[in-house]
């Protein structure tokens, strides 16, 4: 496997960063998870834009243009003969001192990995999944804003631990006001009386790229879409519920905190959006050049 490491493609065994990198020491950096489908990098420009927005929010200056970053992504995919798979794009603060001062880190580290990923077992896409609400509260927006896709993912990891300990693969996180924010790694959608709803980003949700795509797909299909605050009650009483994410794509939720959603099987609208999403990814991406 070839890894992009600050301007060069190197063998996996040679892809090393310093123990003084603040990405390692403090989780100081940003990242993107991106999918490739059918020889194209899905919505690459949207991912790159979000990466640069996240970097700006933490005062991290990326030492290459957005166009150069996008080109590095497709070249890394080509070097690994990837046509479908998962891309992890990482920008760390770089090497610094053992203190917190980020301005002593002179050069950010840029890492691009193109590999495979499978988040959930395939059968869950047919049967739906169970989730629980966890006690780990989503970060307050003025602490670490969830819209920043930062390397500091401990908030999500703590929630994931609770989910696994409860015997499920995903969970619902609430914000400090008790409103639904998102899952530990996915966005949340419910369908009620024909209207598709998802928590607004100010409630603590990441502005997910797949979330945006599904909202566009639903609107094009004539399904009303609203961003509005939700309580757990809105999940319990939903006609349908599903999660979206780069790795998860679109996956139904059929049970929340031992409350059956709908009739306990993936709903017709969810299955339709799954199908439409699979078709959508075929036509929206940046081509990967032949290696």
Q: Of the residues 2, 149, 160, 197, which is catalytic?
A: 149
Strand spans (E) along the chain:
2-5, 8-11, 29-37, 40-42, 85-92, 109-115, 129-133, 170-174, 180-183, 187-192, 195-198, 225-227, 240-245, 249-256, 259-260, 285-287
16 is catalytic: no
- Cα angle: 259, vertex 205, 238; to 5 degrees: 25
Q: In what order do the strands lie in the sheet with 8-11?
A: 8-11, 2-5, 109-115, 85-92, 29-37, 40-42, 285-287
What number of helices (H) and strands (E) belong to the chain?
Answer: 8, 16
Query: What are the structure tokens assigned to 42, written together?
Result: 């899905």
- Whether the CA torsion 171, 137, 22, 70 is positive or negative: it is positive
Residues 6+ apart with CB under 8 A from 85: 35, 36, 77, 114, 115, 116, 117
Q: What share of the chain is helix, strand, coil (3-state, %, to 5)?
A: 30, 30, 40
Those residues with Cβ within 8 angstroms of residue 6's Cβ, 6 or more apart along the chain or in another chain: 107, 109, 110, 111
Catalogue the active-site residues: 149
């Amino acid at each position: 496997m070839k890894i992009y490491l600050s301007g060069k493609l190197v063998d996996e065994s040679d892809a090393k960063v310093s123990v003084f990198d603040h990405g390692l020491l403090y989780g100081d950096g940003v990242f993107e998870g991106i999918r490739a489908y059918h020889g194209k990098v899905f919505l690459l420009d949207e991912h790159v834009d979000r990466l640069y927005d996240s970097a700006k929010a933490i005062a991290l200056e990326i030492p290459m243009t957005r166009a150069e970053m996008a080109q590095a992504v497709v070249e890394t995919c080509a070097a690994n003969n990837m046509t479908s798979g998962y891309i992890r794009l990482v920008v760390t603060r770089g090497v610094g001192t053992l203190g917190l001062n980020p301005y002593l880190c002179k050069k950010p580290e840029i890492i691009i990995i193109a590999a495979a990923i499978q988040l959930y077992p395939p059968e869950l896409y047919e049967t739906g999944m169970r989730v629980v609400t966890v006690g780990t509260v989503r970060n307050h927006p003025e602490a670490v804003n969830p819209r920043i896709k930062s390397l500091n993912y401990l908030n999500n990891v703590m929630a994931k631990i609770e989910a696994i300990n409860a015997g499920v693969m995903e969970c619902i996180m609430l914000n400090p006001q008790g409103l639904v924010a998102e899952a530990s790694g996915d966005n949340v959608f419910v369908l009620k009386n024909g209207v598709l709803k998802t928590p607004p980003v100010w409630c603590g949700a990441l502005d997910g790229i797949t979330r945006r795509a599904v909202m566009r797909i639903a609107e094009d299909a004539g399904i009303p879409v609203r961003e509005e605050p939700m309580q757990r009650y809105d999940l319990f009483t939903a006609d349908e519920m599903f999660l979206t994410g780069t790795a998860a794509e679109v996956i139904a939720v059929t049970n929340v905190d031992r409350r059956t959603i709908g009739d306990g099987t993936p709903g017709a609208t969810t299955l339709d959006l799954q199908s439409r999403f699979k078709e959508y990814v075929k036509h929206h991406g940046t081509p990967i050049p032949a290696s």
